[in-house]
């Protein structure tokens, strides 16, 4: 069962994966795409979560989902860093590390921050539809990760 919270999970007890996420990610990898998670984690800067907890969440995630890399921004908006979405820093960093052609890439997300980071990096955004993002304007809107994989791959 997937737990729902009003915020991102802060503890391992709150952390869970949506069912069926590994298959669409593998489909994209099979189509020749590198898979990178780019995640804002301001709870680190606020002292609400430790790096050890976040790293364990990512270890669990990577044991199930075939990711090539995980990019993390641990800052708050007020830190004015270059990595926090909607800025493109994490996408640019991943591209440099992995040799990614951003113009031939897609960024799947669920917020306007994700869409704007993608656009700022020259990446095509794909928005997963949720009630909280209905006002976000984007060319590609899908119901879930599986539909995004069909669109992309």
- On whether residue 142 sits in a domain, the answer given is yes
Domain range spanning residue 118? 22-152
Q: What is the pLDDT of residue 3?
A: 42
Does residue 42 fall inside a structural domain? Answer: yes
What does the pLDDT read at residue 18? 87
Among candidates 123, 65, 124, 61, which has minimal Cα distance to 93? Answer: 123
Please check whether residue 56 lies inside any domain of the structure: yes
pLDDT single digits (tens) 85-97:
999 999 999 999 9
Residue 27 burial by CB count (10 A; 0-12/13-18/19+): exposed, middle or buried?
Answer: middle
Total tally of structural domains belonging to the chain: 1
pLDDT in tens, 19-62: 899 999 999 999 999 999 999 999 999 999 999 999 999 999 99
Question: What CATH number is associated with residue 26?
Answer: 3.40.50.1000
pLDDT band at 5 (very low <50, low <70, confident <90, very high): very low
- Confirm whether 12 is domain-assigned: no
DSSP state of 137: -
17 is a domain residue: no
Model pTM?
A: 0.90
């Amino acid at each position: 069962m997937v737990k729902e919270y009003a915020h991102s999970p802060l503890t391992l007890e709150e952390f869970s994966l949506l069912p069926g996420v590994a298959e669409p990610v593998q489909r994209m990898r099979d189509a020749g795409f590198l898979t990178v998670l780019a995640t804002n984690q301001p709870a680190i800067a606020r002292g609400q979560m430790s790096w050890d907890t976040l790293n364990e969440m990512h270890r669990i995630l990577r044991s199930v989902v075939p990711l090539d890399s995980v990019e993390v921004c641990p800052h708050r908006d007020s830190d004015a860093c270059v990595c926090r979405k909607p800025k493109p820093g994490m996408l640019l960093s991943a591209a440099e590390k992995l040799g990614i052609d951003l113009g031939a890439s897609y960024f799947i997300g669920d917020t306007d921050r994700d869409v704007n980071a993608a656009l700022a990096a020259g990446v095509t955004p794909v928005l997963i539809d949720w009630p909280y993002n209905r006002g976000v304007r984007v060319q590609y809107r899908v119901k879930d990760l599986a539909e995004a994989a069909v669109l992309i791959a």
